[in-house]
Amino acid sequence: MSEREPLGLFEGFGIELEYMIVGADDLRVRPIADELLEQVGGSYEKEAERGSIAWSNELALHVVELKTNGPAASLAGLEKLFQHDIEDANALLEPMQARLLPTAMHPWMDPHRELELWPHESDAIYRTFDRIFDCRGHGWANLQSMHINLPFGDDREFGALHAAIRLVLPIIPGLAASSPLVDGAPSGLLDTRLELYRGNARRVPSVAGLVIPERVFSRKEYEDGLLEKIYHDLAPVDPEGTLRHEWVNSRGCIARFDRSAIEIRVIDVQECPRADIAVAAAIVAAVRSLVEEHYASGREQREWHEKALAAILLDGIRDADLAVVDDREFLRSFGYPERGRARVRDLWQHLIESFLSREPGYADWSPALETILEHGCLARRILRATEGEADRETLQAVYERLADCLARGEIFEYAH
């Protein structure tokens, strides 16, 4: 978040958005992120700063990341900053016959044939990942997400924030799932990206664990237990220690002690920044409600085992907004009315109405959130738009509309 004095809880927000670069006419992935960044920064360095927003590379050469250039004081108004840079990126890509494509997965990319790794700065890290895990599959080559970075000022704040985020992770697909297609067909899951993400490091299972982090609530516990376990398990396949850094941890949220923040990583990117920032605002409001102990004490939050939370997450990966939570204690943690059972969509509606609706910026976020709550998460709207057809012509037409939504900053609406 910052190299200066650490910010306290909710005093700053870091947002990262990943997008695919695709052909303007055929929407096939185009591995030209380095050419785009060279246009911006004048070299093939991995990051180019542009005032409030920075652009950077990812492992795959067809992906570019736009992110806040340091912590933003508020989420309000961020969608306008991101949208401006998306328009600039599309303008730079136009002479290359390319454009940006949103959503968390390309619907028909063949990662075994089409993946190209970033070949410039930091390429030793990417080559190591590829050697150990084989990055040619969808789980490495075809994943675009939003990351939210939330700061903590000291060990006490870290523990409170980590406990709260762990409880919110399982319900995030219900709001954010945008990846229902893979290899040109419906996968049967609404958050296919997250399912693939769960298994992309299976050769060293401790790297991702159960996606829901273990019950560790201090820096010492985290580094001496969780991280050391990962480093120990990686050592036989990474004897040089190239990946021996806290960012190798692939859980759904990871501690970034190097910048005094926790990074939430389970969020599918949406159709445009208006939707992304709205989703981020809802997630932050839910986390904050737990940190402030409105309905569950910090001690009660810390008691939740990762296996119980992972079971809720798996239902969300499959059914997203219509997944059913029937754990009364989990629902009570969020103050959900005493019914003992709820669809994730209804739980999010309760959280948004209770904790977000009075926040500055809500008027800008409410249209996207109302669309999600009334018509379903983006994955469900995408499937509805295909009308049961998975042929290339239909998919291309739907994803051209999504690319237009990104270019224009519009919400993808498909209610029928």
**DSSP labels, 26-66:** T--B---HHHHHHHHHSS--SEEEETTEEEEE-SBTTEEEE
What is the dihedral sign for C-alpha 205, 206, 209, 211?
negative
Provide the 10 A C-beta neighbour count for residue 172: 29
Check: CB of residue 167 under 8 Å from CB of residue 333.
yes
d(CA 352, CA 369): 9
Residue with tokens 């509805």: 384
Q: Which residues of the chain have pLDDT under 50?
A: 1-2
Amino acid at 363: A
**Torsion angle of C-alpha atoms 222, 283, 330, 326, degrees rounded to 10:** -130
d(CA 106, CA 102): 9
Q: What is the pLDDT of residues 317-355, one digit of tens each?
A: 999 999 999 999 999 999 998 778 999 999 999 999 999
d(CA 5, CA 285): 24
What is the dihedral sign for C-alpha 18, 23, 29, 34?
negative
Residue with tokens 């990812």: 58
Secondary structure (DSSP) of 70-97: S-BS-STTHHHHHHHHHHHHHHHHGGGT
Closest by CA position to 332, among listed 169, 167, 216: 167
d(CA 275, CA 344): 18
**The total number of residues written for the chain in this structure:** 416
d(CA 321, CA 378): 10
d(CA 68, CA 81): 9
d(CA 49, CA 38): 12
- CA of residue 393 relative to chain centroid, distance: 28
Check: CB of residue 253 under 8 Å from CB of residue 170.
no
pLDDT of residue 358: 87
Tokens encoding 100: 């940006």
Tokens encoding 235: 């050592």
Closest by CA position to 11, among listed 81, 78, 79, 72: 72
Domains of the chain (ranges; CATH) run 14-408 (3.30.590.20)
| Phi, psi (rounded to 5 degrees) for 123 | -65, -25
Packed helices 33-41 and 78-93: angle between N→C axes, nearest 10 degrees = 110
pLDDT of residue 2: 45
| Phi, psi (rounded to 5 degrees) for 263 | -105, 120
**Pairing between strand 47-50 and 181-182?**
unpaired
pLDDT of residue 42: 79
pLDDT of residue 4: 65
Packed helices 273-291 and 344-351: angle between N→C axes, nearest 10 degrees = 80
Tokens encoding 143: 């994943």
C-alpha dist (Å) from residue 30 to 62, 130, 180, 181, 373: 5, 20, 22, 19, 34
d(CA 412, CA 271): 7
